[in-house]
Each structure stands twice: as structure tokens, then as C-alpha cells.
Amino acid sequence: MAYNFRSRTFLNSRGTYLGSSGSDEESYNSDPDFRTPARPPRRSVPRASGIRLPGSEGENSSGNMERKRSSRRSRSSADGEEHRRGLIERHRRRKRTKFSQVSDLPITKRTVLSWLISLGIVLENEVVWYVDSLSGNILGEGKVDREGILCSCCSVLVTVGEFEVHAGRKTKKPYQHIVLAGSQLSLLDCQIEAWEDKQEEEKRKFNNIKPAPKATDKNDDACMICADGGDLVCCEKCPSTFHPKCIFMESIPQGDWLCFYCVCKYCGTANGILKKCAQCEKLYHGRCGGERLDLMNPPAALFCGKSCRKIYEGLQSFLGVRNDLRDGLSWTLIQRRDQPLSGSDEYTRVMSNSKIRVHGKMLAEMPFIGTRGKYRRQGMARVLENCVESALCALKVEKLVIPSMNHLTSMWIDRYFFSRVEDESLKQALSVYNTVMFPAKVVKLHKTLAMLPDLNKAPPEPNDDF
């Protein structure tokens, strides 16, 4: 494939999170768990925040494209020689190929140090010191390795935390006290420099996966509805592809075809200027939505109708508000932003959390709900799910849709009163919404939010798996 996936807004674009919390403080002691391609080494510029040693003076798509796409999963038959050798020989060749590929790559732990070395901020085998922040004395010396620090006193490769213990300190902040012997920058300063790196910043943006610039075929290989391959119909304006049966298309259209994400939600055309609703994210014509704009006071956000405006305003009023429940529990609606929310210290331990996307008055989806391991089987998911329904009922949203694995379907139906999406008219209505895409084996369930749940009702027996 010349590209990975399309850049349409998916799960993390406008999702809002509901978290159910208790009263303990969260602790974090894990390292970044990723590695980036190596780049040319780059020496760091000493910062003012670095630890200064006593007496040191360091310097500081085309129209001719075929409308019907063949399945990418169905490969053409191999050549005659490969068939004659049989499946066993092909299996052996695959094994050798994989082994040769893996053997060329260094097998190392993914640590903060390997991340900094890959970025060229810290050099491999560079000398580091553990420096006392008060006296400035050097308490330990070692060399940086991708898997840890080679301690000079015992010639043993240890972790950053163990290196601090070798130096006779237990501050639990080793990155702040371990400095590079050359630049005298602490490893904490190096992490900040890596975090502010331009290329690293690009990787943290939403929808980072884009088609290759020189790709001749920039359409998806999987249906937007069922995530499966096969004979797909391509949109001429975006990378989306669909099975005709998944969008209830009776015949393949002739000429250019635009999907329902690229046309006005009211009139179904793409002529003129299309605006994007800030809530349901569908396109619309201003005249079709009855929009009346004051040119002297332009709005901060555009909406396709009154219902989306009311839902948006309701969600904004919920954001950051702590709602207390029984037994010391509370729930809060938060939204992912590029900049961290102020007052984050007010949040306590998250026991259970979910993600919801409100697509308008008719539909909201909850593609994810989970509970931390030690709080499972205590009814936390039931409490949080009730909070989700309570908030959606207050916004007058009609339906809640969730994905479910086959083995959990009976639990959602029996204990949470969801139903399978079997009605054809409902399936057709759901197909026009940009819900999260899952493989065909995932069952889609729905619930009509007709009654406000009783949040004071005691949870059932703690048999929930999550």
C-alpha cells in the first residue's frame, strides 16, 4: 500500500471523556514506550536550568480511476514455481525472511534513554554524573546506554533509578539530578528538549497518518462502515470507500460520486459554499439550515441547526464540572485539548472512564468504556454508564450506540438493556453518521434514551467484566 489510512476525523478528534473518580492521588512511574528512527546526532545547547558544578565555566485522485475497486486482500495466485514447492516450502521461506529482517535490527529496551539517543540529544556512551543539587558534589559516574546507565563503580548496567541508589540518594527524581558531563544539562532538561522537538511535536497532532505525497491511489482499502475489503465504491472528494450494500446503494452510480460526508446534510449536493457544523461535523449550506449570520458579530462556531447548538452549549456547560455521587464517587466531563486544562490537580484517581461522541440530536456513541483493574467487579461501569445516559438525556439525545465483542453482547443486553441493531431503517440511518469503524465481528448495539436513569439506585451484583 502506498498509504496507511485516510485522515478523516476518527475517535480522538472530537471525543469527550467521562471519568468516574475517587479520592486517592494518582502516581506515575512509567517511562515513554516508543522509539523513533535515528537521526544525525545533535549536541544540546546548555540551558539556564542545568545543574552547574562548582568551578565550572561551561558555555551556556484522477477522474479516470475505475469506480469499482477489487479486494486488496485477495491476492493473485503465486507463480508456478512457488506452487510446485508447496505450502511447506513457502512457510519456510517466510520464516527465513522474517528472521533475516529481525536480525538486522538491534533488540533493545524502549526507555527514555533510547528515545533521547534516537533523537540525537544524548550520545550513546556519553559520560553522565549524579550531582547533589545542594552541594554540587559528584556522587556517581557512568555512561549512557540505550537500556540504562553503565555504572563506573561496579561496571554493571543499571536503570536510571538504580543509578541514583548507587549514588547514595533516594529522591525518586533521578532525571533531575543526573547530568551530562559535557553540557551539564540534566536528563530532565534533555527530555524537555525532546518534547519540544519539531518532528516530535508533529507526531503528537491529530490525524497524523496521511497518504503518501506521490501515491497514485489515495483511497482507502477498507469500507468505512464494516472495515472490510472487497468491491468498494470510491468518493471523488475524500479517501472514503464503501461497500454498496453497506450504504444501501442499489446500483453503482455513473460519473462522479460523493459520499454523504462530502455533501450537504439537507439537500445532498456539494454545490456552493459548504460549512461544517461544530457539533455533528456534517457539512451544510447556510440557506438549507436556515442560518442567519450577523456580519458585525460573527459567531465563534457554526451549527447546522438549533438542536446541534443546544447540544454544544449543554456539553460546554458540563465541561470541568465535578458532579458528586454517593460513596465519595464523582463524575466529570472533560475534553481533549492541545493545551492542558488548568486546575488539573483537582482531579483525583480515575476508577472508570468512557468516551462519548455526540453526533446530533438523534445519536451519540460510546466507543470505549473501561475500569482500572483493581476497581473491576465493583459496579463502577454501571455507575459511569448511568452518568453517561443521564447527561445525554439532559441534552435530549435520542439514541446511544456502542460496539461490543461477541462474548460481551449478552452482558450489555441483559444488564444494561441494550439491543442489537437489526432494523433495516435504523441501520440505514446509522450509516450516514461518522461513527468509529470496527471489524465486522464487532456487534453494534443501541439503546433508546427514553427514561432518565436513577443515579441513586444501588448497583447490581458486581459481575461486570470491566
pTM equals 0.48
The string of pLDDT tens digits covering residues 36-84 is 444 554 544 444 444 545 554 444 444 444 444 444 443 444 444 444 4
Q: Identify whether 130 is part of a domain.
A: no
Q: Identify whether 113 is part of a domain.
A: no
Q: Which amino acid is at 93?
A: R
Q: How far apart are CA 383 and CA 94, in angstroms?
A: 50
Q: Identify whether 24 is part of a domain.
A: yes
Edge-to-edge order in the sheet of strand 443-448? 322-324, 330-335, 16-21, 350-358, 363-371, 399-404, 443-448, 419-420
- The pLDDT, as a whole number, for residue 204 is 61
What is the residue range of 311's domain? 8-45+66-74+217-466
Q: Identify whether 211 is part of a domain.
A: no
Q: How far apart are CA 165 and CA 174, in angstroms?
A: 9
Q: Identify whether 134 is part of a domain.
A: no
What is the bridge-based pairing of β-strands 363-371 and 148-151? Answer: unpaired
Q: How far apart are CA 400 and CA 405, in angstroms?
A: 17
Q: Which residue from 15, 62, 90, 33 is spatially nearest to 356, judged by alpha carbons?
A: 15
- The pLDDT, as a whole number, for residue 92 is 33
Q: Which amino acid is at 195?
A: W
Domain count, the chain: 1
Give the pLDDT band (50/70/90) at residue 126: very high
Whether the CB-CB separation of 163 and 149 falls below 8 Å is answered with yes
Q: How far apart are CA 232 and CA 235, in angstroms?
A: 10
The string of pLDDT tens digits covering residues 363-389 is 888 888 888 888 788 888 888 888 888
Q: Which amino acid is at 224?
A: M
Q: How far apart are CA 18 and CA 6, in angstroms?
A: 27
Q: Which residue from 264, 257, 263 is spatially nearest to 241, judged by alpha carbons?
A: 257
Edge-to-edge order in the sheet of strand 232-234? 68-69, 232-234, 241-242
pLDDT reading at 400 higher than 80: yes
Collapsing DSSP to helix, strand or coil, 114 comes out as helix
Q: Identify whether 79 is part of a domain.
A: no
Q: Identify whether 144 is part of a domain.
A: no
Residue 341, all three cell numbers? 486544562
Q: How far apart are CA 194 and CA 120, in angstroms?
A: 9
pLDDT reading at 230 higher than 60: yes
Q: Identify whether 446 is part of a domain.
A: yes
Ramachandran sector of residue 425 (left: φ over 0; alpha: ψ -120 to 50; beta: rest): alpha
**Which residues on adjacent β-strands are paired with residue 202?**
none
- The pLDDT, as a whole number, for residue 72 is 41
What is the bridge-based pairing of β-strands 363-371 and 399-404? Answer: parallel
